[in-house]
Amino acid sequence: MSPWTALAVLLLAAGCAGYPNGAPTGSCGELVPGHPSSAQDGRSPFAVAPSRARTEEGRVRVMLESPQGVGFTGFMLVARPAAGGLLEDGSASLGHFSGIPDKAKALACGKAARSGATHSGKERKTSLEFEWEAPEDFEGPVVFNATFVQDFATYWVGVQSPQVQVVRRSASLPDGVNAAPGAAGGPSATPARTSRRPTTTTPTPFSPDPEPQAPVVQDPMYDGCGSVRSCFGAPAGCVETRSCEAAVAVAVRGQRYEFEMKAKKAIYVAVGLSEDNKMGSDSVVECVAGGGKVQAYMSWNIAVGKGNTRIDNQDGINLLNSSYSDGTVYCKFTREEVTTVEGTEFNLASRNYYLLLAAGSSLKENSVGYHDRIYTASAEQRNLADVSGFSAASKLYLRLHGAFMLSAWIGAASIGIVLARYYKQTWVGSRLCGKDQWFVWHRFFMVLVWLLTLAGFVLIFLEIGAWTADTRNPHAILGVVTTVLCFIQPIGAAMRPAPSSPRRPLFNWLHWLAGNSAHILAIVTIFFAVPQSKAELPEWMDWVLVAFVAFYVFMHLILSIAGCMSEKENRKRVNSFPMKDLNSSRMPSSSMDRSMDSPHSSFRRCLLGIHIVVILLVTTALVVIAVFAPIEEKWKQVMQSLNL
């Protein structure tokens, strides 16, 4: 081959190589690469995805993606007004790009620096993320246009993003209002000579402009949720309000899946992939804070015992970014599309999974501790590439469990026990179904306690699916003991001896001991329910329970004093009977005592009315807090819907 032929071949090869180090500025207008082939007419396998549809801060994240996993070697990206055309200064792009990732570089399209972006090398790419900022005085819809080059002969031009509405951040002076003297554009500060007679004027009172408020910083964690990635958080509905206590976001990045997680007031946050919405045989990735840094680990939820253990092979994930600040743990990592954990294959591309989200404040050796901050499961199985998002699983059984237990032990038991203890000598002359009034109503309320307790006990097992307990919180164990005591009470009552039996006093004491023990244990168990993460109860509910206990003890004290006064009056009444009444065989003193109310019955009835009203109000309030948990979030939503 002659030297001239070799030189021609080299020049031709150089021309065919395109621009491996990025597109030239001359391509900003038409976005057409200098390749001899024509652009593809079909649908592009690549996409330009802004993180939000509206921005009031002038910033938005822009993602270049390949949803199908097809890589691109080159690209060019610009922002333009949705109306089209060049800008007034002749620039081909609007605003500027920052946060340029690796494998990319900024480009000056016209007069504006960093107003475009292009590739910096010929490596194959599947996703890139940029930060774009609008000019301060711009307002209106913006679109992002891109060209993607798959190879030298295959490229797509004019791939356009959805519109982003930019709200103006700076306001200009109204017409007729001049700049301050001496300011740029304002009148000169040099005094002018005049032949006019000076006049005296009263200065207009000065009122300073209100201090500008700092713009609200939006958490970028929620950017792109529902449009380019799937998000799930707790409490329910928090993704829409961007106020989650814990959240996870998932996006497809070629052959990998990118996860982003964070949790407040926690030392770890974890996400699990499950075949059902219960713990057991699940693949988990946990981000754990410790030693001034955050580490990511793959682990496995054990089916028996509901435990968790880290696996030996940690090659399935790659930690990209992490932080731990002000009690908030955050991490961003990628996970392989297909992984095998404990002999089970997890294929994120072809299979659907439930998401389990958990966060806690304690660690164990080689594993995380109990999820005392957050635990929730998604309501349905979904493919992780489905950006429509996950909704939280129904907690109907859990809410009913709380409502039934509160109604039973705060409400019905607190009334039934008081009736049996202090009202045996009230409404003596009135009977219902041949029984004393106190006995009929005592039995009614205690049967109600029995039914509600058993129903609540069954419901919580239907919710959880198996026995599980936090070793640091005895709520579950105390609940079982309370239920057992409650269950045997009516059985013992059905076998009570006759009033004249010598064993009757023993029965009375055992019945009293079991009933009061169950009531006390139930109240203590409810206190331990407040810190349970699944219950989502506010911390101040403890004070409502304290107020209930104080009122209940106070009523016992007042009724005990009233009972002592009644017994004292009874003794006086017996001692004051005439001799002929005491010797009369027609009306013995014992019969006379049982045929009439003991003294101060009206006072006791008044106290009972107050007791019932207060107990019903407290019970109703606690049931509302439990059923509509988290009550504070629900209250905010109601206020927002009413524009208050």
Q: What is the pLDDT of residues 334-360, one digit of tens each?
A: 999 999 998 899 999 889 999 999 999
> What average pLDDT does the chain have?
80
Query: Of 450 and 9, which is predicted with more confidence?
Result: 450
Say if CB 158 and CB 31 are below 8 A apart: yes
pLDDT confidence of residue 596: 66
- Residue 320 makes CB contacts below 8 A (sequence gap 6+) with 258, 332, 333, 334
Say if CB 144 and CB 161 are below 8 A apart: yes
Bond preceding residue 502 cis, omega within 30 of 0: no
- Tokens matching residue 362: 């304690």
CATH class of the domain whose range is 221-377:
mainly beta
pLDDT confidence of residue 354: 92
Residue 41 has pLDDT above 70, yes or no: yes
Mean pLDDT of 234-244: 86
The Cα-based distances of 574 to 552, 579, 585, 595 in angstroms read 33, 11, 16, 14
pLDDT confidence of residue 479: 93
Residue 552 has pLDDT above 70, yes or no: yes
Q: Under the phi-then-psi rule, with left for phi > 0, alpha for psi from -120 to 50, and beta for the rest, what region is 625?
A: alpha
pLDDT confidence of residue 480: 94
Residue 186 pLDDT class (50, 70, 90 cuts)? very low
In tens, the pLDDT along 274-284 reads: 988 888 889 99
- Tokens matching residue 572: 């006086």
Where are any strands of DSSP class E within 66-210? 74-81, 96-98, 104-109, 112-119, 127-133, 140-151, 154-160, 164-166
User: Percent of the chain having pLDDT more than 70?
Assistant: 80
pLDDT confidence of residue 481: 94
Angle 306-312-318 from CA coordinates, rounded to 5°: 100
Highest mean pLDDT pick, 53-57, 138-142, 380-384, 606-610: 606-610
Query: Of 371 and 636, which is predicted with more confidence?
Result: 371
Q: By three-state DSSP, how is residue 535 classified? A: coil
pLDDT confidence of residue 88: 57
- The helix, strand and coil proportions of the chain, stated in percent and rounded to the nearest 5, come to 30, 25, 40
Angle 504-529/396-406 helices, nearest 10 degrees?
140
Angle 475-494/437-464 helices, nearest 10 degrees?
140
Query: Of 256 and 89, which is predicted with more confidence?
Result: 256
Query: Of 428 and 2, which is predicted with more confidence?
Result: 428
Q: Where are the domains of the chain?
A: 25-166, 221-377, 395-569+598-638
C-alpha of 203 from chain center: 56
pLDDT confidence of residue 256: 85
pLDDT confidence of residue 90: 54
pLDDT confidence of residue 50: 87
Residue 22 has pLDDT above 70, yes or no: no
Residue 583 pLDDT class (50, 70, 90 cuts)? very low
- Tokens matching residue 144: 């992002």
Q: Which helix (DSSP H) or strand (DSSP E) does residue 320 occupy?
A: strand 317-325
Query: Of 590 and 427, which is predicted with more confidence?
Result: 427
Mean pLDDT of 128-153: 87
pLDDT confidence of residue 484: 94
DSSP state of 43: -
Query: Of 506 and 14, which is predicted with more confidence?
Result: 506
Residue 445 has pLDDT above 90, yes or no: yes
Say if CB 482 and CB 404 are below 8 A apart: no
Angle 541-575/413-422 helices, nearest 10 degrees?
10
Decide: pTM greater than 0.95: no
Query: Of 90 and 463, which is predicted with more confidence?
Result: 463
Say if CB 167 and CB 54 are below 8 A apart: yes
Say if CB 614 and CB 550 are below 8 A apart: no
- Tokens matching residue 365: 């050796």
User: Percent of the chain having pLDDT more than 90?
Assistant: 29
Residue 448 pLDDT class (50, 70, 90 cuts)? very high
Residue 431 has pLDDT above 80, yes or no: no
Kindly state the greatest CA–CA separation across the chain.
152
Would you identify the CATH topology of the domain 395-569+598-638? Four Helix Bundle (Hemerythrin (Met), subunit A) (1.20.120)
Residue positions counted in the chain = 644
Query: Of 219 and 239, which is predicted with more confidence?
Result: 239
Bond preceding residue 630 cis, omega within 30 of 0: yes
Dist CA 102 CA 413 (whole Å): 67
Query: Of 342 and 173, which is predicted with more confidence?
Result: 342
β-pair partners for 288: 268, 295
Mean pLDDT of 109-126: 82
Dist CA 79 CA 117 (whole Å): 10
Lowest mean pLDDT among 176-180, 399-403, 574-578: 176-180
Residue 202 has pLDDT above 70, yes or no: no
In tens, the pLDDT along 365-417 reads: 888 988 888 889 998 888 888 887 787 777 889 999 999 999 999 999 999 99
Residue 92 pLDDT class (50, 70, 90 cuts)? low
Say if CB 29 and CB 86 are below 8 A apart: yes
Would you identify the CATH topology of the domain 25-166? Immunoglobulin-like (2.60.40)
CA atoms within 13 A on the CB side of 644: 7
> Which residue shows structure tokens 């349905």?
380
Residue 554 has pLDDT above 60, yes or no: yes
Mean pLDDT of 124-134: 86
Dist CA 30 CA 158 (whole Å): 8
Residue 567 pLDDT class (50, 70, 90 cuts)? confident
Residue 175 pLDDT class (50, 70, 90 cuts)? very low
pLDDT confidence of residue 59: 86
Same CATH topology for 25-166 and 221-377: the answer is yes
In tens, the pLDDT along 297-329 reads: 999 988 776 788 899 888 889 998 888 888 899
Dist CA 89 CA 110 (whole Å): 8
